[in-house]
Structure 1
Amino acid sequence: MSLNLSAQVCADELIRRAGDLRCAVSDIGSATLIDCGSGTPGSLSAGLLLARLCLADRGTVTLVPGDDGPAVQVFSDDPVRACLASQYAGWQVKVEKYFAMGSGPMRAIYGKEAIFEHLPNGRESSTVAIGALETRKAPTDGVIAYLKERLPGVEKLILAYAPCESMAGTLQVVARCLETALHKLHELKFDLTTILSGYGVAPLAPVAADTIRAIGWTNDAILYGGRVVLWVNSDDAQIAEIGPKCPSGGSPDYGSPFAEIFQRNNGDFYKIDPMLFSPAMIEFRNVRTGRVQVFGRLAPDILQQSFGS
């Protein structure tokens, strides 16, 4: 199934219910824009739809009770395409002074990111492109032209956008718990074709008043409170070897709220150890052998320290 056509279901619902969801819809050139939390308040329901859109609607996203409040739960039976070919925010959209992290299935049409070299059936062609931008600024004419130039054959472009420091933006970032596990496994050279299904849950971070704090809280929700379960058809020995490296605790940067880690690295996101970005716990359930292997641990004390700051 086309990822973009699948995601259009979510985009159409955001457009149709924009008033109820406290969103706003506008057209710029040949694109339709959905503001989910920049110039509008947005909502939790908008966040759920935005997270589903980022997953190309190839996963289910819900709010469930957590230990100390609501948590974001995600599961998918098409996790590699949903998370890595669509949800992963791997497209840096830079146009003059405009910058946003791009995600959603429009990435599968673009297909130029290095990760697509390792994703069977990751790329696709479509006349409809659905994307999400993590930003407070509405896309400009220049941004639309930049995207359309890199999306061959696209006749209709729909972009949903929200900053991390919004209700919808916070929820959709925390909904990346499963995606961070798969991306970490990709970096560790794990065979992604053996992953059959995936589940992730992480506490819903508070909505922050500024971007830096929002980035810190949403990252901490996954790094110290995220748990992922993967159903795989793999080799137990390979899982045992690679498993300890999978959770966030395997990184030397682990152990402090993300805001402190960010400050230690002089505010440079790219100086932070990339192996940090993964859930606190990862469980492998091998359908080939029936063996269950669990790695990592939750760190509610660090999470409480972060959210209380």
Structure 2
Amino acid sequence: MPSSNATPDAPEPPLAGAGVPSVNALSERLVKRLVDDAARFGAVVSHTENGTVLVDAGVVAPGSVAAGVLIARICMGGLGHVTVRESLGESVEAQPLWPSMIEVRTSWPVLACLGSQYAGWSLAATKEQTGGKKFFSLGSGPARALAVKEPLFAELGYRDRHERGVLVLEVDRLPPQVVIDKVLHDCGLAPEQLTLVTTPTHSVAGTVQVVARVVEVALHKTHVLGVPLAEVVEGGGSAPLPPPAPDGIQAMGRTNDAILYGGRVHLTVKHDAVARQLAAELPASTSRDYGRPFADIFTSFNYDFYQIDPALFAPAEVWVSSLESGATWHGGRVEAALLHEQWNGKP
């Protein structure tokens, strides 16, 4: 029998073991569709001198809602269903929440959301390196799992191995060659095997793919709360799709507000205790910064994300079902009035 002060074994990573799919392999057909049908999606495809594929889905190209939906599916490594539906007949507190809603569902919530979709890969270059102005973007999508530059992947117990990769950059210009070279090096890919998709937040496609992170935001806060990720076995959710904003700060505000005040998520977990904890602690309303438009919060902290209470980054409302008992716990609330005040035209 071990002594009373023995260190407990570390929990098994949630994605360790055989049978775990390749997010880059699964997303490959989606990437091919985006590239082959670029004109229909309002995107523009170009290539670097070495053959890397660059997809502009909102920098100069107009993009589209359809492009945003497809890019969101790519971000989830082909393991998520993303749709847009009209909700004119629905109401929350006697008024429609919003005409268009993004719906997301995945049976691989940890891998799809944290192992692929999460914007966790920091890519930067100085103005000296670019020969112009400095560059910064957070990379999301399947190629993160090839590079595994983030500590999160050690916790997940996952590393993808595939001959092709795709990364989505939420930035308002195409990446410079120095950043492309870094991605190629870290992913171990030949230039022609990499596709980089650019979707500024203020673009139509960018707005869609950010709001489509409603379930990913719930998974990330679950991780922040210290809940074992292996507990989460299914995930689905929805959030209102706001119109694109004219500038980056407003766009950031609208997409965050869509999730923080209009996002609804339903998770299925293994145990009752976890379901009760998440229903109580997961909603955005547990944050000290909750209750104001995100753009106002961001501005009040001098545009420093790290000063914002991390508990804020969560869906507005959650339902958590337990496989142990079959019971479901509920927490949080939707703030439809706040969204309408921010997004509706003024008289």
CA distance in 2 between counterparts of 1:48 and 1:112 reads 27
Aligned to 2:337: 301
CA distance in 2 between counterparts of 1:3 and 1:154 reads 18
The runs of at least 4 consecutive aligned structure 1 residues that moved more than 4 Å come to none
Aligned to 2:235: 198
Aligned to 1:134: 170
CA distance in 1 between counterparts of 2:39 and 2:296 reads 38
Equivalent pairs, count: 307
Of the three residues 275, 298, 307, the one matched with 1:271 is 307
CA distance in 1 between counterparts of 2:106 and 2:274 reads 23
Structure 1 residue 238 displacement after superposition:
3.3
Aligned to 1:58: 79
Unaligned runs of 5+ in 1: none
SS at the partner of 2:311?
helix
Aligned to 1:90: 120
CA distance in 1 between counterparts of 2:344 and 2:86 reads 20
Q: Which has the larger radius of gyration?
A: 2
CA contact (8 A) 1:126 1:154 kept: no
Kindly provide the CA deviation profile for residues 60-99 of structure 1, in whole angstroms up to 9, marking residues without a partner as x. Answer: 0000123321000000011110000000000111022111
Alignment of 1:1-309 (within 5 A): 1-28=21-48, 29-66=50-87, 67=96, 68-96=98-126, 97-120=134-157, 122-153=158-189, 156-234=193-271, 236-308=272-344
CA contact (8 A) 1:64 1:72 kept: yes
Bigger drift between 23-32 and 175-184 goes to 23-32
Bigger drift between 260-269 and 199-208 goes to 260-269
CA distance in 2 between counterparts of 1:237 and 1:18 reads 47
Aligned to 2:18: none
CA contact (8 A) 1:37 1:169 kept: yes
SS at the partner of 1:38?
coil
Kindly provide the CA deviation profile for residues 134-177 of structure 1, in whole angstroms up to 9, marking residues without a partner as x. Answer: 01111121111111121125561011111000110000000000
Structure 1 residue 243 displacement after superposition:
2.9
SS at the partner of 1:20?
helix
Unaligned runs of 5+ in 2: 1-20, 88-95, 127-133
CA contact (8 A) 1:220 1:306 kept: no
Structure 1 residue 113 displacement after superposition:
0.7
CA distance in 2 between counterparts of 1:254 and 1:304 reads 17
CA contact (8 A) 1:129 1:154 kept: no
Structure 1 residue 106 displacement after superposition:
0.4
Structure 1 residue 30 displacement after superposition:
3.4
**TM-score of the aligned structures, taking structure 2 as reference length:** 0.86
CA distance in 1 between counterparts of 2:334 and 2:305 reads 23
Kindly provide the CA deviation profile for residues 104-139 of structure 1, in whole angstroms up to 9, marking residues without a partner as x. Answer: 01000111212112213x221221111100011111
The one-letter amino acid paired with 1:76 is T
**TM-score of the aligned structures, taking structure 1 as reference length:** 0.96
SS at the partner of 1:213?
helix
CA contact (8 A) 2:30 2:70 kept: yes
Bigger drift between 47-56 and 149-158 goes to 149-158
RMSD: 1.3
Structure 1 residue 261 displacement after superposition:
0.6
CA contact (8 A) 1:34 1:161 kept: yes
SS at the partner of 2:261?
helix
Bigger drift between 59-68 and 148-157 goes to 148-157
The one-letter amino acid paired with 1:246 is L
If each structure's strand is expressed as a fraction of its own residues, which one has the higher value? Answer: 1
SS at the partner of 2:187?
coil
Structure 1 residue 14 displacement after superposition:
0.5
CA contact (8 A) 2:76 2:113 kept: yes
CA contact (8 A) 2:80 2:112 kept: yes
Identity of aligned residues (%): 40
CA contact (8 A) 1:25 1:34 kept: yes
CA distance in 2 between counterparts of 1:216 and 1:99 reads 19
CA distance in 1 between counterparts of 2:66 and 2:241 reads 13
Report the CA distance shift for 1:264/1:297 in structure 2 as closer, same or farther (over 3 A).
same
SS at the partner of 1:289?
coil
CA distance in 1 between counterparts of 2:279 and 2:340 reads 26
CA distance in 2 between counterparts of 1:125 and 1:132 reads 18
CA distance in 2 between counterparts of 1:241 and 1:88 reads 23
